[in-house]
Amino acid sequence: MKSLVAFYKYTFSYKVPAILTIIYNLLYVIFNLLSLVLFIPFLQLIFKVNDAVSLVKPNYSGGFINFFTYCKDWYNYTMNEMVKENPKDALLFVCISVVSAFFLKNVFRYGAVWHQSQLRMAVVRDLRDQLFAKAMRLPLSFYTEQRKGDLMARINSDVREIELAVIAILELVFREPFAILVSIASLIYISPQLTLISFVLLPISAFVISRIGKSLKKTAKAGQEQTSLVFSILEESISGIKVIKAFNAIPFITKRFKGVNLRLQQLNTGTFRRGDLSPILNEFLGATVMICLVWFGGIMILDDSDGMLGGAEFITFIIVFSQLLRPIQGIATAVGNLNKAEPSLDRINEILNTEEVILEQENAKDLNTLKSEISVENVSFKYKDEFVLKNIHFKLQRGKSIALVGESGSGKSTIADLLPRFYDVTEGSIFIDGINLKEFKLEDLHKNIGIVSQESILFNDTVRNNIAFGREDVTMESIIQAAKIAHAHSFIEQLENGYDTVIGERGNKLSGGQKQRLSIARAVLKDPSILILDEATSALDTESERIVQGALDELMKDRTSLIIAHRMSTIINADEILVLSKGQIIERGKHQELIALGGTYANLCGLQGIFQ
Ligand SMILES: Nc1ncnc2c1ncn2[C@@H]1O[C@H](COP(=O)(O)OP(=O)(O)OP(=O)(O)O)[C@@H](O)[C@H]1O
């Protein structure tokens, strides 16, 4: 089982807490057994199983094994002496011993849990960090709507399965086998014959456990996949809540959610039922084995054949044997958890091993600023099978602007996505100052490109942090300056806490125009040499558009811009206009030239009341 190695690695990624957990667990096992064995003289005393006999005071002759024999003899001797003098003192002594053993057992148990908590949470944190970092590096092509929720499910519930597997490893490999070993050694010491009988019966339960484990793995995988689906629908529905309400689609969406949620319930119920069956079957099998032992042991005592088994030994045997069932059950649970975690591990690795298609070359070049031009040469592109861009060719000089217009789906946004290398071209090349885009450092490329899109990407944080956006080197003055250029300063000042106002999830506390102006302020502060404006004003009403357009004009001053717009009025002044249709450039030129041409562009303008 190669996943066992992986779980093992996760467990020992933090060696100190892992080793301390193991040590505390081992001490817990020893004191657990001791707390029960110490009980035996107490029983003997109450039920007068043995009359006090004369014992010789033991001597410790050194050595590890002898130490345990010495402790046992010393305890028996002390007990015996006390019983002879005053049985009530003996009773008190036994009670104190048992309580002390119980106390220590639980101290060690808590010690183990203490370190185990640290370990499991650290592993969960690391895994989530890794997944998040990977998610940030994954190419955009990875993120279809379906995958967003799926990724969230993996970061959430699959990681939790790994957490359980880490605990399972600690229990399965160290605690429970040790507990079983200690118990078996004690059993053999007490009565080899009875031990032999119990061992004939135990493998039956082992077989049953392994069968349950196997079927558990299958249903667990289906369950995790279904969890992903539930998360996907949840994500989709919450993001689209406005539209859902507006279209009165709540019953439809709710029905869809209920459907997948019901299936999840059925799958998880199956998993739990199988999982819960193993301890139940275990206990029943254990009890059956125990009754068989009581039968055989009882007959041995009744026959008193050759004094091989006394009453006290028999009681001890049964108590210790009952202790054997717990770790066996523990192993069953741990094996179940490992089986359940295996598909989760696969799902996590699937993400971690996903190829990062957009890679930076070794010795990638610096890009400080755009010096002369961006040159797009014979670029074709396809997302999957069909080309959505064909032979695109244009040059964008420094300080100039190019506008892309065309019907929906003609490929405008795709062209814009190629510049920051969100996708790489399928054919052809893009050059910046004569150097292929792919030769630059990705970080530098992104530093030089500012994007303002239709949907402002804002975070549930303060206005100030949304403008600074991860940059710690900026002063408050420069943030205010950027906000002023973006025509955002005056409305920010009127907010409850000014620049320290938290703007709600995705900036929900702000109007569309305000959100857009914050996005522009962010771009102003970033001060990129290249600007991509993708329908930056199309979601706004006329009044907001006027203000935002003013802000954009400020932003575009002295920058090289690629503008995508549906409203022709916003691109009339562009240095060149490219008209796209079905992924191809069908017309190009300045506004007046294209109007004079009387083609698609002139038609589009005509539809919007622009005739010259
Ligand atoms: N992630 C994607 N995976 C597969 N196909 C895509 C993807 N994104 C866009 N497309 C397809 O590529 C083509 C061009 O889309 P693009 O978004 O570039 O057009 P657009 O001109 O910007 O449209 P709009 O004006 O509606 O935003 C369309 O046919 C679209 O269906």
Residues with CB under 6 A from ligand 1: 383-384, 388, 406, 408-414
Tell me which amino acid residue 1 is.
M
Q: Within 10 A of 144 (CB to CB), how many other CB atoms are there?
A: 10
| Ligand 1 atom nearest residue 414's Cα | 18
ipTM above 0.90, yes or no: yes
Helix (H, G, I), strand (E, B) or coil at 523: helix
Q: What is the DSSP string of 401-437?
A: EEEEEESTTSSHHHHHHHTTTSS--SEEEEEETTEEG
Counted residue by residue, the chain has a size of: 612
Q: What is the pLDDT of residue 54?
A: 56
What is the arrangement of strands in the sheet containing 560-564, beginning at the earlier edge strand? 449-453, 530-534, 560-564, 401-406, 576-581, 584-589
* Distance (Å) from CA 219 to ligand 1 centroid: 38
Nearest residue (by CA) to ligand 1, atom 16, is 411
SS (H, E, C) 541-576: CHHHHHHHHHHHHHHHCCCEEEEECCCHHHCCCCCE
* Distance (Å) from CA 384 to ligand 1 centroid: 12
Q: What is the pLDDT of residues 346-367, one digit of tens each?
A: 889 988 888 877 778 888 888 8
The Cα-based distances of 101 to 33, 83, 178 in angstroms read 9, 21, 18
DSSP 76: H
Nearest residue (by CA) to ligand 1, atom 6, is 383
363: CB partners within 8 A, 6+ apart: none
Task: Write down all domains in the chain, each with its CATH number in brackets.
Answer: 2-352 (1.20.1560.10), 373-607 (3.40.50.300)
Q: Within 10 A of 535 (CB to CB), how many other CB atoms are there?
A: 19
Residue burial 16-46, b: 16+ Cβ < 10 Å; e: rest: ebbebbbebbbbbbbbbbbbbbbbbbbebbe
* Distance (Å) from CA 413 to ligand 1 centroid: 7
Q: What is the pLDDT of residue 284?
A: 78
Sign of the dihedral defined by the CA atoms of residues 475, 481, 484, 489, in that order: positive
Helix (H, G, I), strand (E, B) or coil at 377: strand
Do the Cβ atoms of 483 and 521 come closer than 8 Å? yes
Nearest residue (by CA) to ligand 1, atom 2, is 383
CA 566 to CA 574: how far, in whole Å?
14
> What ranges in 240-310 are assigned the alpha helix state H?
241-246, 250-303
* Distance (Å) from CA 583 to ligand 1 centroid: 10
Q: Is 541 exposed, middle or buried (0-12, 13-18, 19+ CB in 10 A)?
A: exposed
Lowest mean pLDDT among 6-15, 113-122, 197-206, 254-263: 197-206
Q: What is the mean pLDDT of the chain?
A: 83
Lowest mean pLDDT among 40-44, 48-52, 301-305: 48-52
Give the rounded percent of residues in the chain with a pLDDT score beyond 90: 16
Do the Cβ atoms of 577 and 591 come closer than 8 Å? yes
Nearest residue (by CA) to ligand 1, atom 18, is 411
Residue 449: in which H helix or E strand, if any? strand 449-453
Nearest residue (by CA) to ligand 1, atom 25, is 408
Do the Cβ atoms of 387 and 381 come closer than 8 Å? yes
| Ligand 1 atom nearest residue 411's Cα | 18
Residue burial 369-382, b: 16+ Cβ < 10 Å; e: rest: ebeebbbbeebbbe
Question: pLDDT at residue 379 above 90?
Answer: yes
Token pair 């408050």 in the structure block, residue? 476
* Distance (Å) from CA 414 to ligand 1 centroid: 6
The Cα-based distances of 581 to 5, 117, 575, 599 in angstroms read 55, 59, 20, 12
Q: What is the pLDDT of residue 430?
A: 94
Residue 395: in which H helix or E strand, if any? strand 387-397
Q: What is the pLDDT of residues 570-580, one digit of tens each?
A: 788 889 999 99
Q: What is the pLDDT of residues 383-415, one digit of tens each?
A: 888 899 999 999 999 989 999 998 888 999 999
Token pair of 507, please? 């900036």
Do the Cβ atoms of 290 and 314 come closer than 8 Å? no
Lowest mean pLDDT among 115-124, 480-489, 544-553: 544-553
Helix (H, G, I), strand (E, B) or coil at 101: helix
Nearest to 558 by CA among 388, 332, 425, 397: 397
End-to-end CA distance of the chain: 74
Q: Bridge-partner residues for 382, per DSSP?
A: 387
Nearest residue (by CA) to ligand 1, atom 5, is 383
Of 17-21, 29-33, 283-287, 308-312, where does the model show the most confidence? Answer: 17-21
* Distance (Å) from CA 172 to ligand 1 centroid: 52
* Distance (Å) from CA 412 to ligand 1 centroid: 8
Do the Cβ atoms of 601 and 405 come closer than 8 Å? yes
Ligand 1 mutation target, pool 145, 379, 388, 586, most atoms within 8 A of CB: 388
Q: At what angle do helices 87-137 and 64-85 cross, to 10 degrees?
A: 140
Nearest residue (by CA) to ligand 1, atom 10, is 383
Question: pLDDT at residue 43 above 70?
Answer: no
Nearest residue (by CA) to ligand 1, atom 4, is 383
Question: pLDDT at residue 52 above 60?
Answer: no
Tell me which amino acid residue 428 is.
G
Q: What is the pLDDT of residues 217-258, one digit of tens each?
A: 677 778 888 888 888 888 878 877 767 777 777 888 888 899
Q: Within 10 A of 585 (CB to CB), how many other CB atoms are there?
A: 20
**Global pTM?**
0.72
